[in-house]
Structure 1
Amino acid sequence: MKQPEIIKALTEEIDQGNLKYGDRLKPTRELAEKYGTTAQTVSAALSVMAGMGMIQVQRGWGAKVITGRKANIKLGTYLSANREVATGTTAWARSSGNGSKEGPTAVSQTVATEEDADTGIPAGTEVVERTRIRFDADGAPCQHKRTLVAVDAATLTPEGWTGLPPMMRPGDVTPPAGMSIAKWLGMGVTRVLYEINTDQADAAAAAALTLPEGTPCMRIVSRGVKDDGTVAYATVTSAPLRSSISLEIRDAEEGGVA
């Protein structure tokens, strides 16, 4: 196993409850035998996990788990604070300084995999994948955005539209002012759920952010959910841990709902 795979395997052991808070890990040599790798690779993986605050390593007595299973902290449920601007625009607003920019959107058709489990789109589902990279004012890549749209939702077109459906075209998709893309296309989305956590950057996000694969990153997953509970689309935004996330709630008189 490579370093990212060892981190993933140990993280899964924690999330499944097989390794609990306070448990000691097996010695490095035993872990190397278990995962079919070298002690040096295991040590490097444990160092990354220690940096993530998942384990504590002390010379002489090994490593122990100092975290619990992955938890969800629900901040609350709010209506969009600004109905004059499409929700998708406010949710990923530029905040990387004057001169920040986005690369072109690349579009392809693919199939969701087990690695996409947190998007809520079942593995094997045919999807349209839309990817984009954001750069800060200094030209450094600071966000990797990947959207998966179920094919039945991606092929929708607004009334009077001609040509290739908007979600299957490369480049920006701009709905009318004050309307989300999902509503404009009639996806039947009734709510958007956000989950924010830290996880290893996958190969595509790591390459886009010029980071080693497996580097811990901020991972923001938003899912457009329909009344029947199915997911019409999901967007995964990966960003370095130095990123920050902001939330603004306005009083009803100011155009939003507190």
Structure 2
Amino acid sequence: MNASAIVADIRKGIAAGEHAYGARLPSVRDLAEQYGVSQQTASAAYAVLSALGLTRTAAGSGTTVAAGPSADAHLGTYAPPDLTAAEAWRPNGSGGEATEDTYLVRQLTASAALADWGFTEGADVVERHRIRRVGGIPVQHKVTVLSYAVASARPEGYDGVPPMLAPVGAPPIRPPHGTRVADWLGWNVDRTEARITAEPMDPAASEALGMQEGSPGFRVVNITRTPDGETLYVTVTTAPLHHRITLDIIG
């Protein structure tokens, strides 16, 4: 077991209320024995928990829980009248040119974990992985998940490979200026729900961003639904904690 697995386990306990706010956690030595790891690994796990603001370590009192059970900070539900006016992302200051590359496109069978996003377990889904850079430095990792039926949509009068199924290295296929991708592809978009958390990065994001696995980062999950509440697609954006998460509400 590594430090990130210990962090995930303790974080789960804090979120569920199993480790109460202010409760004292095991010493580094006891934690190492509990999980069968070295004291160095146990100490690294506590360092990550502290960086996430979940624990506090002080001389004489050890490591205590500094967060309560998990709760949602709901920012609101909104439907902008003109999503073409929104910027998907932007660099701050003069950090250099902003670029984006798709580096992985694959078809998978939906796992049980995707049910929380509204996908049916066992259904065919498509994953598209992108990396965003500023001045050549990776700053965001983004995964888009769609059902195969949604991904295979083509614009009216278009006979080529469906844009969302275009392989890595293919020239980008973009809608006419001023047209939303969703409208261009005939998706019946009603709303998007955003879930923003700070937590250890998953392996794919860590590797893409060149960071140690389990490093803390922002995780933004956007779930786009139809008027009937069915999931059209989900995007998961990961960024290091020293970046910012901004939101513009239009209308």
Same fold (TM over 0.5): yes
The partner residue of 2:144 within 144, 147, 153 is 147
Residue of structure 2 equivalent to 1:107: 105
1:94-127 CA deviation, whole Å, 9 max, x = no partner?
5574422122453111234456566443554421
Q: How does 1:166-245 map to 2 (within 5 A)?
A: 166-170=163-167, 171=170, 172-245=172-245
RMSD of the TM alignment (CA)?
2.3
Within 5 Å, which residues of 2 pair with 1:70-109? 70-80=70-80, 82-85=82-85, 90-95=87-92, 97-109=95-107
Q: Which residue of 2 aligns with 1:35?
A: 35
1:19 corresponds to: 19
TM (norm. structure 1) is: 0.85
Deviates most, 192-201 or 170-179: 170-179
TM-superposed deviation, 1:208 = 0.9
- 2:153 match: 156
- 2:110, 2:88 → 1: CA distance? 24
CA distance in 2, matches of 1:205, 1:237: 9
Q: TM-score, normalised by structure 2?
A: 0.88
Q: 1:133-158 CA distances to partner (integer Å, 9 max, x unpaired)?
A: 11112x21111111111112111222
Q: Deviations over 1:169-210 (max 9, x none)?
A: 135342233333223222332111112111111111101111
CA separation of 1:120 and 1:239: change in aligned 2, threshold 3 A:
farther
What is the DSSP-based 3-state SS (H/G/I as helix, E as strand, rest coil) of the residue aligned with 1:19?
A: coil
Quote the Cα distance in structure 2 between the aligned partners of 1:69 and 1:113: 27
Q: Which residue of 2 aligns with 1:252?
A: none
Task: Name the CA distance, whole Å, in 1 between partners of 2:89 and 2:117.
Answer: 17
Identity %: 38
Q: Classify 1:84/1:117 alpha carbon distance in 2 versus 1 (closer, same or farther; 3 Å).
A: closer
Aligned equivalents of 2:154 and 2:185: distance in 1?
6
Whole-angstrom CA distance in 1 between matches of 2:113 and 2:4:
14
Other structure's SS at 1:50 match: helix
Q: Helix, strand or coil: the match of 1:189? A: coil
Q: 1:228 to 1:35 in 2, by over 3 A?
A: farther
Offset, 1:213? 0.2
Contact kept in structure 1, 2:102 and 2:128, CA below 8 Å: no
Does the 8 Å contact 2:51/2:216 carry over to 1? no
For 2:113 and 2:28, how far apart are their aligned partners in 1?
A: 27
1:30-75 deviation per Cα after TM superposition (whole angstroms, max 9, x unaligned): 3223322222211110011111111011233321101112322222
Partner amino acid for 2:127? E
Q: Is the 8 A contact 2:79 2:191 kept in 1?
A: no
Conservation of the 8 A alpha-carbon contact between 1:120 and 1:234:
no
Q: Which runs of 5+ in 2 are unaligned?
A: none
